[in-house]
Amino acid sequence: MNLPNKLTIIRIIAAPILLFCLCVKFDHNYLAALLIFIGASITDGIDGNYARKHGLVTDFGKFLDPLADKMLTTAAFLGFLYNGWGTGIVWITFIILFREYLIFSLRLTAVSSSGGTVIAANFCGKLKTVVQMVAVISVITFEYLKFLDMRCFNSVIKGIYGGIVFLITDIYCDIALWLAAALTVISGVLYLVQNKKFINPSK
């Protein structure tokens, strides 16, 4: 197994650990989740570039790489759902999971077809992943800062100031999450349109 594929496997292993850190309370569990997600996201940027630069692009990698991204972001959104972070997080999580299951099914159909085609991620799909990752990092960061701030309140003024700041960050996070959901829908529609030849109800 080449290095890019090993990095992809690391992202898959990181997904349940991330969910554990988001759902199980221990000292600085949100910080641990943040570091895990950032580290795993960095491997996503490294493995693809490294594979293309050194001629290590494989069908296994093209199939598994987007799947690893889905596992990682799914773990994050399930953690958000568990903690109740984000306005409309139930619908955002549903939209993202619905799209991912749909496109994964399309990829399986393409692989099982006579040509054994592996559908690689397109630009919109990659953009969707980047926006999702930025949204996830933003939410975990601000929720961790809230946690620290709640432990350090020592004045009414600071409490009011903190409330205003975190109201703004909540609005930002909601916008980021819904933008990620919108791009998830758009990229999913584009995948279906671009690969409609693999959708044949008669087979």
Strands (DSSP E) along the chain, which ranges?
A: none
Cα 142 to Cα 55, 171, 203, distances in angstroms: 39, 11, 49
Other Cβ atoms closer than 10 A to 122: 14
Give the domain ranges of the chain. Answer: 3-198
Quote the pLDDT of residue 13. Answer: 94
Q: How many residues does the structure list for the chain?
A: 203
- 73-110 as b/e, with b when 16 or more CB fall inside 10 Å? bbbbbbbbbeeebbeebeebbebbbebbeebeebbebb
Return mean pLDDT, the chain.
Answer: 84
CATH architecture, domain defined by 3-198? Up-down Bundle (1.20)
For 109-137, what is each residue's pLDDT tens digit? 776 665 666 666 677 878 888 899 999 99
User: At 76, is the pLDDT very low, low, confident or very high (cuts 50, 70, 90)?
Assistant: very high
